[in-house]
Structure 1
Amino acid sequence: MIPYGDFLFFFIALGLLLPVILLGFFGKRNDILNTIVTFIMIMLIFKDPNKNLFNISILSYEMVSFILFVVFQIVLIKSYVKIVKTKNTSSIFYTVIFLSILPLAIVKIVQSSMFGFHSVQVNGLPIKSMIGFLGISYIMFKCIQILMEIRDKRIKEIKVFDVVRFLTFFPTISSGPIDRFKRFNKDETKGFTREKYLDLLQKAIHYIFMGFLYKYIIAYLINQKVILMINFDSASLFMKLIYMYAYSFYLFFDFAGYSLFAIAFSYIMGIETPPNFNQPFKSKNIKDFWNRWHMSLSFWFRDMVYMRFVFFVTKKKLIKDKLLISNIGFMLNFMIMGIWHGVEWFYIVYGLYHGVLFVAYGYYEQYRKKHPYKINAKVMDIIGIIITFHVVAFGFLIFSGKLF
């Protein structure tokens, strides 16, 4: 069952959450009840697709992969907590990070058409269908963040049950937003009142209706009436531009709809999952765009890749030029982000494209400081929004794979 993929998912999830909602009306929250709901939903999400709704096979390939992956990550996290107390060396840290990423790397390579594994079959089934599971990368992001905060000694103790609840939290398991462990636990432990829950519930209802508008009406119509009607390879330049604009808006409304659903169900369970989008097509420049688009992913890469690279290179004095360090950091950051989407050329080019945009904008900012424009600020903002939208839309066209 694909999360938020059909109305049946909503009926089942909301039905299971009725006791949670009733408790919330009395200003109470039961973590065990939340855990039971998550367990049932996980069972349905990763059930054997060949089985009927309640004819669940717990030994489906996705379920086995999910369980093994979570157990593996928890063992890594618990082991590293113990190691850090006595020996916190860089070599051990990088080994643990490598091991944490390794399962996802294997899945991406096997599922990629570049290496030819995607066509391999075992017992009549494609091997790419037998490994990995929906949302594996989002769980890995959470694990990496925990390991890095253990390294920084911001997290000193880990309870297995807390990690399990964080990693398996069903509203965000398939498409984010990517929450942070300490923030999530803070919601679990802080005071809970009837007034607070009613406010969250009101927002949740609003987000669910907005999500239906975004995903099931706007995104659906764009896909059916525009994208699927254009044969990109034989289309004229004008129609290719129409496709580029349509695909850009489709990506936003489809993914933003998913995010709104995830946030809404998180709120119903008393967890204030952070937002993922903030009117990205109003961005005035490329940096502003990545502060508005898929924010939880963007901020994760900023904190876990870019900032760590800059800190490491600066601390080791490997490069003296701060701007050069920053530029290399941006290229590395977005190249990894591109590879995360998939080990395909167009994803990698998409990542490098945004890295180049960041570098170019950095030089533009330096030039603007020395040569300020005398045009009205509002006019410059409008020009910036138009230019940013078009360079971002072209990036989405690269992302679509239609140019390659």
Structure 2
Amino acid sequence: MINLEPYGNPQYFVYLLIGLIPLMIGLYHGHRWRWYQSAVSLVFIFLMFDSQKWQQGVALIGFVIWEWLMVGGYMAYRKKANNRWIFYGAFLLSIVPLLFVKITPAINPGHTSLFGFLGISYLTFRSVGMIMEMRDGIIKEFHPMLFLEFLLFMPTISSGPIDRYRRWLDDYQKVPDREKYVGMIEKAVHYIFLGFMYKFLLAYLFGTMLVPKLETLTLRYGGTGFSWPLVGVMYAWSMYLFFDFAGYSLFAVAISYLMGIETPMNFNQPFRSHNLKDFWNRWHMTLSFWFRDFVFMRLVFAMMKNKIFKSRVTVSNVAYIFNMLIMGFWHGVTWYYIAYGLLHGVGLVVNDWWLRFKKKHRESIPHNKLTEAFAIFLTFNFVCFSFLLFSGFLSKLWLGHY
């Protein structure tokens, strides 16, 4: 069997573009051949799993059936009654497969869960988001086939961006007019070329050529303390992380556009952020907005409704830390992922304090291009340090796990 990991090599694009030509012709002439779109998606999802990854393919099938039962079952029950405990049960059961995948390596180091497959996190976010919006009454109907189409939307199946059901459905149920679709194709071509530069040139330069050499120099001359090669690792790894992930996201958006779906962008010049909150409005945006809407805002609402804290500032501070800790745990049950989440949670608390302080003393605090440049510089370095922590290199350095 051919193994075609999504966007892993140029060969993948050749096969994919050939497969998409009939769909693109149909869209150009005002028709969305849903049966063909479904067939192409299933074929390329199937090709993700070679003979050594068949267990992941089975896990994907089992996961889809499980989520179909959870989301469809909750909607069926909700039409009869709106019991919050049923909601909690549907929510918890929908994340059970993901919890197994994340916890297994921590309990049994060196082993991965049998439930794991590429993209399980992002598919879980789609399902959980639907359950929450059903609870809110925003999604009023469950269409089994449309749910499967949404969950298994091929361009974004492995690593996002994370789309929302209602937004995706609005695109899927209509066909862009010819002028708009031609514009989408132009954007797709641009994103593909930009993605190639990001993922196959710049990410290779930083991740394959620079990072290993700088790590070797750090181990050789820096020991376990501060060294300039370690600073080099910090910047090089941060650039690798951005260009690799941003390149992948550009590919996913581009292929979505070719399929007539305007999947939201994932990055918006994050290293030009003026502060940490601005950074999270620019970095992995679909993930940060998902956590904002489904974790942070709901936690704030729950604490204010139950009057757990008197101060709104305290409420938001607790929500920031809790929200980012969950994001850290989501990356993995490992101390440096959790520390990464905690660091950003505390950073957002400090960031909010500073913004309130600036607003209160705006007449005495200068605001000009120099202070803006310093704010960008400070935010950039804070983020890069957090990425160094996230990379796990410090854990290897300090604990000697080489």
Q: What TM-score do you get using the length of structure 2 for normalisation?
A: 0.93
Q: Which residue of 2 aligns with 1:384?
A: 375
Question: Does the C-alpha gap of structure 1 residues 343 and 202 become closer, same or farther in structure 2, counting only changes over 3 Å?
Answer: same
Q: Which residue of 2 aligns with 1:311?
A: 301
Which of 22, 28, 33 in structure 2 is aligned with 1:30? 33
Aligned AA for 2:123?
I
CA–CA separation in structure 1 for the residues paired with 2:7 and 2:128: 26
Residue 394 of structure 1 pairs with residue 385 of structure 2:
yes
Q: Which residue of 1 aligns with 2:157?
A: 173
Residue 85 of structure 1 pairs with residue 79 of structure 2:
yes
CA–CA separation in structure 2 for the residues paired with 1:320 and 1:85: 36
Residue 115 of structure 1 pairs with residue 107 of structure 2:
yes
CA–CA separation in structure 1 for the residues paired with 2:221 and 2:235: 14
Question: Does the C-alpha gap of structure 1 residues 235 and 72 become closer, same or farther in structure 2, counting only changes over 3 Å?
Answer: farther
Task: Return the offset for 1:118.
Answer: 3.1
Partner SS for 2:247 = helix
Which of 205, 211, 221 in structure 1 is aligned with 2:205? 221
Partner SS for 2:289 = helix
Aligned AA for 1:387?
L
CA–CA separation in structure 1 for the residues paired with 2:209 and 2:46: 35
Question: Deviations along 1:345-376, whole A, 9 cap, x unmatched?
Answer: 10000000000000111111222122224424
Residue 20 of structure 1 pairs with residue 23 of structure 2:
yes
Aligned AA for 1:262?
A
CA–CA separation in structure 2 for the residues paired with 1:86 and 1:402: 52
Is contact 1:222–1:246 with CA below 8 Å preserved after alignment?
Answer: yes
Q: Which residue of 2 aligns with 1:101?
A: 95
Question: Does the C-alpha gap of structure 1 residues 257 and 378 become closer, same or farther in structure 2, counting only changes over 3 Å?
Answer: same
Q: Which residue of 2 aligns with 1:46?
A: 49
Task: Return the offset for 1:117.
Answer: 4.8
Question: Deviations along 1:82-135, whole A, 9 cap, x unmatched?
Answer: 11122212221111111111110001111x2x322534xxxxxxxx26431000
Further displaced range: 9-18 or 20-29:
20-29
Q: Which residue of 1 aligns with 2:60?
A: 66
Further displaced range: 1-10 or 164-173:
1-10
Is contact 2:30–2:175 with CA below 8 Å preserved after alignment?
Answer: no
Q: Which runs of 5+ in 2 are unaligned?
A: 396-402
Q: Which residue of 2 aligns with 1:55?
A: none
Q: Which residue of 1 aligns with 2:238?
A: 248
Which of 212, 219, 225 in structure 2 is aligned with 1:233? 219
Aligned residues with identical type, % of pairs:
45
Aligned AA for 1:35?
S
Question: Does the C-alpha gap of structure 1 residues 205 and 49 become closer, same or farther in structure 2, counting only changes over 3 Å?
Answer: farther
Question: Does the C-alpha gap of structure 1 residues 301 and 116 become closer, same or farther in structure 2, counting only changes over 3 Å?
Answer: same
Residue 268 of structure 1 pairs with residue 258 of structure 2:
yes
Task: Return the offset for 1:19.
Answer: 0.5
Further displaced range: 159-168 or 17-26:
17-26
Is contact 1:29–1:192 with CA below 8 Å preserved after alignment?
Answer: no
Partner SS for 1:118 = coil
Which of 337, 358, 362 in structure 2 is aligned with 1:368? 358
CA–CA separation in structure 1 for the residues paired with 2:159 and 2:87: 27
Partner SS for 1:45 = coil
CA–CA separation in structure 2 for the residues paired with 1:62 and 1:336: 25
Aligned AA for 1:39?
L
CA–CA separation in structure 2 for the residues paired with 1:288 and 1:338: 19
CA–CA separation in structure 2 for the residues paired with 1:392 and 1:117: 28
Q: Which runs of 5+ in 1 are unaligned?
A: 51-59, 120-127
Question: Deviations along 1:122-177, whole A, 9 cap, x unmatched?
Answer: xxxxxx26431000000000001000000001111110000000000110011100
Question: Deviations along 1:189-224, whole A, 9 cap, x unmatched?
Answer: 234311111111111111000000000001101123
Task: Return the offset for 1:25.
Answer: 2.7
Aligned AA for 2:390?
F
Aligned AA for 2:50?
K
Task: Return the offset for 1:6.
Answer: 1.2
CA–CA separation in structure 1 for the residues paired with 2:26 and 2:221: 56
Is contact 2:101–2:113 with CA below 8 Å preserved after alignment?
Answer: no
Question: Does the C-alpha gap of structure 1 residues 396 and 235 become closer, same or farther in structure 2, counting only changes over 3 Å?
Answer: farther
Q: What TM-score do you get using the length of structure 1 for normalisation?
A: 0.93
Partner SS for 1:358 = helix
Which of 212, 235, 242 in structure 1 is aligned with 2:196? 212
Residue 341 of structure 1 pairs with residue 365 of structure 2:
no
Is contact 2:97–2:115 with CA below 8 Å preserved after alignment?
Answer: no
What is the number of residues matched between the two proteins? Answer: 385
Residue 299 of structure 1 pairs with residue 285 of structure 2:
no
Q: Which residue of 2 aligns with 1:281?
A: 271
Aligned AA for 2:108?
G
Residue 150 of structure 1 pairs with residue 142 of structure 2:
no
Partner SS for 1:320 = coil
